[in-house]
Amino acid sequence: MSTLDAEKRITLELEHPAGSMKFDGNLAEGLFLAARHLTGQERLDLIERLQASHAELEAVGR
């Protein structure tokens, strides 16, 4: 497996008043699980940032 084919992984530990979580695994899955702990407005802000970043990456062909 080449470096480009290697799975992107994340390890995170989240603590907040509503609960906590630990995750070690696939990057996209970990980000999704962590995003579920955001408030509605925080999720909307994150979506906006991701969309802007996606548009920038598409413009340069990544």
8-state DSSP, 27: H
In whole angstroms, what is the distance from residue 48 CA to residue 51 CA?
5
Rg (CA), the chain: 14
Place of tokens 């579920």: 36
Provide the domain count of the chain: 1
Is pLDDT at 49 greater than 60 in this prediction?
Answer: yes
pTM for the structure as a whole: 0.71
Instruction: Give 12 or 4, the one with higher predicted confidence.
Output: 12
Output the six-digit token pair for 22. Answer: 């630990």
**Band of residue 16 on the pLDDT scale cut at 50, 70, 90:** confident
Is pLDDT at 12 greater than 60 in this prediction?
Answer: yes
Tell me the average pLDDT across 42-61.
93
Is pLDDT at 2 greater than 60 in this prediction?
Answer: no
Cβ(11)–Cβ(21) below 8 Å: no
- For residue 16, give its domain range: 3-59
